[in-house]
Amino acid sequence: MAAGPMKMRATLGSGYTDVRVLMTHPMETGLRKDADGKVVPAHFIQTLTVKVNGKTVVEGEISQAVSRNPVFSFRVKGGAKGDKVEVSWVDTEGETNKTEAAVA
């Protein structure tokens, strides 16, 4: 399975903005073997960045032990409808993806 699209929802909570993001990624550990007994090489997201209106609010470093198709929730103080949220990631192959959404 290759890396694929992302989905994101940013909603106003009580006093904070709730950011939920889904990334499509195999998150191969490098420890798993395929049907022929061959080790599947490691391939996983290593860093992710959450930005609100262009400012970095969260930086994450993750390992191969984050589940396949990672889902994250983050919370940012305050916020208003229409604020622009952007989430991006970079994996072990240097592949990258990003998605944008307005706070609803």
How many residues line the site for other proteins (CB under 8 A)?
A: 33
Interface with other proteins, residue 38, by CB under 8 A: no
User: In angstroms, what is the minimal distance from the CB of 85 to other proteins?
Assistant: 11
Task: Report how far residue 67's alpha carbon sits from residue 79's, in angstroms, rounded to the nearest whole number.
Answer: 29
Q: What is the per-residue binding string for other proteins in 48-77, x denoting contact by CB under 8 A?
A: -xx-x--xxxxxxxxxxxxxx-xxxxxxxx
Query: What does the radius of gyration of the chain's CA atoms come to, in whole angstroms?
Result: 15
End-to-end CA distance of the chain: 32
CB of 71 to other proteins, least distance (A): 6
Interacting residue ranges for other proteins, rule: CB under 8 A = 16, 29, 31-33, 46-47, 49-50, 52, 55-68, 70-78
